[in-house]
Amino acid sequence: MNLRLVTAIARKEIQSLRSEKTIILAILLQFFIAMFSSFLMVGLSAMYDPSVYGRFTGVQYGIGFVGNDSILFDLFSRDPSFIPYRMDPGVALGALKERQLAAVVWPSETPAESEDPVTITLYTISNDIQSTVIEVKIKEILLEYEDILRDIRRDRLDFRPVTVTPSRPVAQNSFYEFIYGLLIPMLLFMPAIISAGLVIDLITEEYQEQTLDTLRSTPATLEDIICGKILACILIIPVQVALWLALLMANGIRIAMLAEIVLHVFFTSTALILIAATIAVMYRDRTKAQFIFSTAVIIVLLLLLAFPSNPVNLIVLLAVGGAPAYHWAVLIASIASCALLIVLIKNVMRRVEYF
Amino acid sequence: MEALSQLFTIALWEIKRFQGTMSRDLLPVAIVLLVLLGGVSSFTAQKGIHLQDGIYRIGVDSPVYLDIIGSDPRYLVYPLPSDVTNIRSLGLDLAIRAGLLLRANGEKGAAAQKSFEHDYQAYLDSIYRQQTDLFAAYPVWIDSRYIISELDFLATQSGQQVAAPRQASENPPLPKTIETDLVPPSEIDLTEMEKLRVQLEEEAARGTDQLGRYTDLLSQQEALGKLKIPSMLSPPLPFDTIIFIFVFIFPLYFTSQFFMMSIMNERTLRQGEALIASPVRPVVLILGKMLPYACGMILIVIAILFTVKADVLAILPLIPVILFFLSFALFIGMVSRSYKELSFISIFFSTIATSYLFFPSIFANVHIVSLLSPVTLVVHVIDGTGYSLTDYIYSTALFYLTSIILFGVCVRNFHEEQLFTEKGLFDTMALYLGALISHRYWYLSLIIIAMMTIPFVFMAQMMYLTLFFNLPMPYSLILIMVLAALTEELVKSAGFVGIITNRYPPLTWKCVLLSSLLIGFGFLVGEKLLLVVTISQIVDSIFGAALFLSFGLIWIPFLLHAGTVCCTGVILKRWGMRALPVGIIIATALHTLYNLYVLRGWVW
């Protein structure tokens, strides 16, 4: 293998990526997804945590209350976000339909200590963000009501659960688990998937456009050419990963142990790129190679995820700052699998060289 | 008749060609891979997905609490020394001491507590479910009903606030009409206890089993009938709709990739030259090549619907999606110069298309914005709500129109010069636009180009609407306004780009002026036509006003559209094609200023 030729080919590929502006598309894509994830945050937190709508605090919702249940009525009137009115069912539903009320609550006339449960019909307006917000608030009151009734009927329980009381309440919702447990690993492996797809394109293109023969008439061997292409794809990984990490940090997401994360992503991605390159060399046709590769990637990923302490899990742990020391062993294992894959692709190349 | 037989011949060839690529060396490998895939997915389903293992550390002072944590792999459990006050110093996120839950400060501690509370609720439920007297453990059952209010979108958004509730007054409101159709809450008695217990258990099993939750979701067996206990009363989790996207959209997207490659292969080494030289019209060629893939996609969708036992009616909203994917596959296959360009453009396109389909649909059952996505209709069919014809038109019209227009453009450009050009993406697109300008009736071409960009503009603007709809009010409006203006100016410049690449008519000052008027006219007519047909619901709200300028006398928007595109035209005439971005920016600035002026009452 001639190192000068390999780097020359890698340089050419990176330059053509730059001049074709395709890499710019990839970066645009990253921005686009980053934008969407922030949208997801805002949209979903608004749905699940009413306090996100700052202006809603202080607003009191009118609730139509039908029937004579006094415990539930008191719970509603004690809550600062609601004003319950005792109403006739027809009037209450009419007012709800005209949006003069936020919801109508209609409990059955079952006494608190009865054998039978209390049933409540809860009417809200369909197709409306507002009723989602209100439903979340009403749910809290109903849970409180459930606790009160359960306490009244306490003696009828066979056994009690262990009690754990939080020392202080926790804010309604945080996206900690979503961000660290799903978004970060997903985003960090995007570059790997992109680069692996790229290496297939670069290799099959030489075959299908029949430019490989011309290239082979230079001093470069098949091995030099393929290695150069692989190198180009590997080299753009740290760049893309760094961009992601920068984007995440710009969004105020703190990531611990950056260097280790980059190392893990780098070697796992390298393994994926090598698999892709092997498939491309074997099939020499983009449609076939991409099809085999995408199926293979799903298999490998699913298999990896089935085991604890897989690289993806370790990236999550590294990002939150609590990774066990054996993550170095996993890193060494991924480096070893890269080495194995290099041996494999060399063999494949030797076999197909003059076909 | 002859065209039809030609069409079938081409389709047959395409199937043969596809079989050729998929045969011999690929088929055995593909079968092995599929078998592996099946095996691995059931293996992973059994072992569970280990993604967030050990993310939290919890200290406990007694083994009783292990019942609560159970087998949740997210926790690493440590014994808690009795004399510790600062749990952070031990590296713990949570600690339970004598029944009191302590947490470390910061985001992670809060998230850990949140997850723990969720587990604790599941533990409580499992204890309560086993009680002999279920109605002592669960004394409250809720039947939630939704009232359809005719006000919907307009009422909530034509006001200043997105979903502003009315501040309740001291006295109960008096409605104009009194409802007469009343059903008092149904009583539950002891005979139903065991049935409800089984339902609760099913519901609990659904929550813990990761994959089971989604398979159930697809077949929509609402485990809990109509009655719910308070802790299960929550709006439907929107992440679930992402599963629909995966199940329906990804197979369709992959199949359209094969079509894309087939078109691309005709272009590598000019292989398709013979095909183009044949006496078959381009439209027949394209449709013939497309037919097998379209049929394949429809079969895939039917197969999926059949497996999840959904109504076959759900296929109707997916047909425009299939057309949309195919038309973009055709376009991308025709314009990209190399495989890597093909990959990048198609990844880029698929992300945007998937987002367009996905993001509105997470609001299914919540908001009318959700109807922008045909996938919402599929969700509605599966959960049994169904959809009306208006809903169908509303959510699919843009997909149909954009696909048909894109097909038209591609058919018109399916010639040697455009197919085998070595130009870059933007130059190729300019070339395509140039080919749309007729030499004799160039003025008519300009109007038509302006009109046919409208569905694309609408699509982009719908996207902005879903994206920024949830931001606080002034920002959402301003962002939508600027982006809408930018998109409109961008597509209006298409006519000028076409004239310049076509080199006829020569771009004189007179021509700039006349073209501006024609483009402005075409744009306005197209806009009004489509507005009437489809999205009148959004148009009347303040967001609609920001997007479509549907107010005032007709000549004001006409002058605005003509005037701003004239700016672009003048800059193009003076400094050439390179100045196009500058022209668009200036036109956008003017356009935004005008919008701001009109909407000033809303913004400040």
Answer yes or no: do B179 and A94 touch at CB < 8 A. Answer: yes
How big is the CA angle at A29 (ends A283 and B408), to the nearest 5 degrees?
75
Helix (H) or strand (E) holding B176: none
CA angle B249, B335, A206 (to 5 degrees): 95
Amino acid at B153: F
Contacts of A55 in chain B (CB under 8 A): 161, 164
Q: Which two tokens stand for residue B361?
A: 């649909």
Cβ-Cβ contacts under 8 Å between A and B: the total is 420
Tell me, what's the pLDDT at A159? Answer: 81
With contacts defined as CB-CB under 8 Å, which chain B residues touch A180? 55
Name the phi and psi angles at A123, rounded to 5: -105, 130
Sorting pLDDT into bands at 50, 70 and 90, what band is B224?
very low
Cα separation, A15 vs A12, whole angstroms:
5
Name chain B contacts of A42, Cβ cutoff 8 Å.
470-471
Hey, how many other C-beta atoms are within 10 angstroms of the C-beta on B447? 20
Q: How buried is residue A163: exposed, middle or buried, by Cβ count under 10 Å (0-12/13-18/19+)?
A: exposed
Min Cα–Cα distance to chain B from A270, Å = 18
Q: What is the pLDDT of residues B356-377, one digit of tens each?
A: 877 666 555 445 566 678 887 8
Nearest by CB to B367, which of A129, A142, A152?
A129
Query: What residues contact residue B331 under an 8 Å CB cut-off, 6+ apart?
Result: B406, B409, B410
What DSSP string runs through B98-167? TTEEEE-SSHHHHHHHHHHHHHHHHHHHHHHHT-S-HHHH--EEEEEEEEPPTTHHHHHHSSSSSSPPPP
* Predicted local confidence at residue A35, as pLDDT: 60
The answer to whether B339 contacts A106, with C-beta atoms less than 8 Å apart, is no
Tell me if chain B has a CB within 8 Å of the CB of A102: yes
Q: Are A138 and B372 in contact (CB under 8 A)?
A: no
CB A263 within 8 A of CB A173: no
Host H or E run for residue B285 = helix B282-307
Burial (CB < 10 A; 0-12, 13-18, 19+), residue B364, is buried
Q: In angstroms, rounded to a whole number, what is the distance separating the alpha carbons of residues A157 and A234? A: 63
A151 in B contact zone (CB under 8 Å): no
pLDDT for residue B17? 86
Q: Which residues contact A247 (CB under 8 A, 6 or more apart)?
A: A30, A31, A34
Using pLDDT thresholds of 50, 70 and 90, give the confidence band for residue B211.
very low
As a whole number of angstroms, the distance between CA B540 and CA A337 comes to 60
CB contacts, 8 Å: B99 with chain A: 162-165
Q: Which of A147-156, B211-220, B490-499 has the lowest mean pLDDT?
A: B211-220
User: What are the helix (H) ranges across B150-249?
Assistant: 152-157, 193-208, 210-219, 241-244
In chain A, residues with a C-beta closer than 8 Å to the C-beta of B51 are 181-182, 185, 305, 312-313, 316
Question: Quick one: closest CA in A to B115, which residue?
Answer: A177
Residue B149 has pLDDT above 80, yes or no: no
> Which of residues 169 through 228 in chain A touch B, CB cutoff 8 A?
170-171, 173-174, 176-177, 180-182, 185, 194, 197-198, 200-202, 204-205, 208-210
Tens digits of residue pLDDT in B480-491 = 888 889 999 999
3-state secondary structure of A64: strand
Helix (H) or strand (E) holding B228: strand B227-228
* Across B98-102, B112-116, B186-190, B301-305, least confident range: B186-190
Neighbours of A154 (CB within 10 A): 10
The verdict on a CB contact (< 8 Å) between A119 and B183 is no
Contact B470 A174 (CB under 8 A): no
User: Quick check: helix, strand or coil at residue A123?
Assistant: strand
pLDDT tens for each residue of B99-119 = 888 888 888 888 888 888 888
pLDDT in tens, A159-169: 888 888 888 88
* Closest Cα in chain A, distance from residue B314 (Å): 21
**A95 Cβ under 8 Å from any chain B Cβ:** yes
pLDDT digits 0-9 by tens, A11-64: 988 888 877 666 666 667 666 665 655 555 555 554 444 444 444 455 678 889
Contacts of A46 in chain B (CB under 8 A): 470
Confidence of residue B208 (pLDDT cuts 50, 70, 90): low
Interface test with A, best of B65, B77, B142, B422 (most A CBs within 10 A): B142
Which among A98, A165, A176 has CB closest to B176?
A98
* Cβ neighbours of residue A19 closer than 8 Å, sequence gap 6 or more: none
- Nearest CB to A150 within list B110, B137, B258: B137
User: In terms of Cα–Cα distance, which of B145, B368, B535 is closest to A129?
Assistant: B368
Report the residue of chain A nearest B120, measured CA to CA. Answer: A164
| Shortest distance, CA A132 to any CA of chain B (angstroms) | 6
Query: How far B142 CA sits from the closest chain A CA (Å)?
Result: 5
Look at residue B469 and tell me whether its pLDDT is greater than 90.
no
Q: Look at B405 and B604; give whichever has higher pLDDT.
A: B405
> Which of A13, A99, A214 has the highest number of chain B CBs within 10 A, making it the mutation to test binding with B?
A99
Rounded Cα distance, A156 and A178, in Å: 40
Asked if B163's CB is within 8 angstroms of A21's CB, the reply is no
Of B34, B44, B341, the CB nearest to A20: B341
> Is the previous residue joined to B505 through a cis bond, with omega within 30 degrees of 0?
yes
- Residues from chain B that touch A162, judged by Cβ atoms under 8 A, are 64-65, 67-68, 99, 123
Query: How many other C-beta atoms lie within 10 A of the C-beta of residue B579?
Result: 16
Nearest CA among B329, B297, B330 for reference residue B315? B297
* Residue A345 to residue A190: CA distance in whole angstroms: 23
Secondary element (H or E) of residue A106: strand A103-107
Q: Cβ of A286 under 8 Å from any chain B Cβ?
A: yes
**Residues facing residue A83 across a β-bridge:** A62
CB contact under 8 A, B68 and A46: no
Residue B113's closest chain A neighbor by CA?
Answer: A170
Burial class (CB in 10 A: 0-12, 13-18, 19+), B111: buried
Tell how strand A165-166 and strand A118-125 pair up. Answer: unpaired
- Asked if residue B158 has pLDDT above 50, the reply is no
Pick from A178, A181, A184, A136: which is nearest to A41 by CA? A178
Give the whole-angstrom CA distance, residue B564 versus residue B590. 7
At residue B9, φ and ψ (nearest 5 deg) are: -60, -50
Verify whether the Cβ–Cβ distance B65 to A28 is below 8 Å.
no
What pLDDT, on the 0 to 100 scale, is given for residue B162?
A: 36
Q: Do the beta carbons of residue B403 and residue B290 sit within 8 Å? A: no
What token pair was written down for B53?
Answer: 């293992």
Buried-exposed string A99-109: b where 16+ CB fall within 10 A, e elsewhere: bbbbbbbbbbe
> A17 touching B, CB under 8 A?
yes
Tell which of B32, B133, B343, B466 to mutate to test the A interface (max A CBs under 10 Å). Answer: B343
Range with lowest mean pLDDT among A33-37, A246-250, A280-284, A343-347: A33-37
Task: List pLDDT tens digits, range A196-241.
Answer: 988 999 999 999 888 888 888 888 888 999 999 999 999 989 988 8
- DSSP for A225-248 reads HHHHHHHHHHHHHHHHHHHHHHHH
- Is residue A108 within 8 A of residue A123, CB to CB? The reply is no
* pLDDT tens per residue across span B59-87: 888 888 888 887 788 898 888 887 767 77
Percent of the residues in chain A that have a pLDDT greater than 70, as a whole number: 85
Q: Pick B64 or B184 by higher pLDDT.
A: B64
d(CA A67, CA B442): 73
Q: How far apart are the first and last CA of chain B?
A: 63
Residue B588: per-residue pLDDT: 93
Closest to A60 in 3D by CA, of A33, A32, A29, A81: A81
Residues of A in contact with B424 (CB under 8 A): 20-21
Buried b / exposed e over B25-58, threshold 16 CB at 10 Å, is ebeebeeebeebeeebbeebbeebbbbbbbbbbb
Asked if A20 is an interface residue toward chain B (Cβ–Cβ < 8 A), one would say yes
Tell me the chain A residues in contact with residue B188 when contact means C-beta distances shorter than 8 Å. Answer: 116-117, 119
Instruction: Test A90 with B179 for CB contact under 8 angstroms.
Output: yes
- Nearest by CB to residue B343, choosing from A56, A198, A312, is A198
Task: Report, as an integer, the average pLDDT of B298-322.
Answer: 87
Q: Contact B37/A295, CB-based, under 8 Å?
A: yes
Residue B546: band (very low, low, confident or very high) from pLDDT cuts 50, 70, 90: low
CB of A303 within 8 Å of a chain B CB? The answer is yes
Instruction: Name the residue among A25, A132, A154 with its Cβ closest to that of B366.
Output: A132
Q: Which residues in chain A touch residue B25, judged by CB atoms under 8 angstroms apart?
A: 283, 288
Section A250-271 average pLDDT: 88
Asked if B34's CB is within 8 angstroms of A135's CB, the reply is: no
Asked if B345 and A25 come within 8 Å (Cβ–Cβ), the reply is yes
The lowest-confidence range among A226-235, A319-328, B151-160 is: B151-160
Which residue among B55, B100, B182 places its CB closest to the CB of A89?
B182
Nearest chain B residue to A312, by CA = B51
Q: How far is A187 from chain B (nearest CA, A)?
A: 13
* CA A198, A203, A204, A210 torsion-angle sign: positive
pLDDT tops 60 at residue B163 = no
Chain A from 238 to 277: CB within 8 A of any B CB = none
